[in-house]
Amino acid sequence: MANEMDGRELAERVRLIESMMAEGRRKQESWGWTFVLWGVAYYIAFFWSWLGRFAYAWPVTMIAAGVLTGVIFRRRHGRNPETTLGRAIGSIWTAMGLSMFIVLCAMGYSGRYSNGHAMIAVFAGMLGLANAACSMTLRWRAQFICALLWWATAVAACYCGDALLLPIFLAALFFGQIVFGGGMMIAESRRRKQSGASHA
């Protein structure tokens, strides 16, 4: 009898954990717009600094993207109750964003990177870390593939020449930010339509 209770209790706990993971993935999907927004911001900052030779392109663009993210967040997510898992995922991305801003600005102003390779390696490595941490927390394979993409880009920054690194980096931005974020936005939109149809 005790074994049956233990088995049922264990099964209930496993179901609870699985439902929390599914809810976490749904919550993460509702943040797809931030992946797209920051992917576009990275493109703007990159081309502005590269073509325009503007030293402050990255900090100006990142601050503008951060402010825009805050404004949109308050409008979209301000009324939703926050969960522990949601706070954990948000903390990972906030810590990554702050780390990236501090380290990359310091590298840029000090001139401690050689023609951008070290900067791209750090940038891609941090994005790989954040995606991997979230994917492991949520047990989400698609996001772990994004982490692998960013880690491969970080390794490429260490070994490839400029001519090869530039398209690798731009492709990683496109697939790891814009396509992945767009996919999350589509999944969220479908889920909302299905829940709307089921309530009707």
Q: How far apart are CA 12 and CA 186, in angstroms?
A: 31
Band of residue 74 on the pLDDT scale cut at 50, 70, 90:
confident
Band of residue 179 on the pLDDT scale cut at 50, 70, 90:
very high
Structure tokens at 50: 């590269």
Average pLDDT over residues 9-14: 64
State the DSSP code for 115.
T
Q: How far apart are CA 100 and CA 126, in angstroms?
A: 7
List Cβ<8 Å contacts ≥24 apart for 158-164.
158/117, 158/121, 162/115
pTM, rounded to two decimals:
0.80
> CB-based contacts of 30: which residues, under 8 Å, 6+ apart?
76, 77, 184, 188
Q: How far apart are CA 130 and CA 34, in angstroms?
A: 14
Q: How far apart are CA 98 and CA 79, in angstroms?
A: 25
Q: How far apart are CA 118 and CA 134, in angstroms?
A: 24
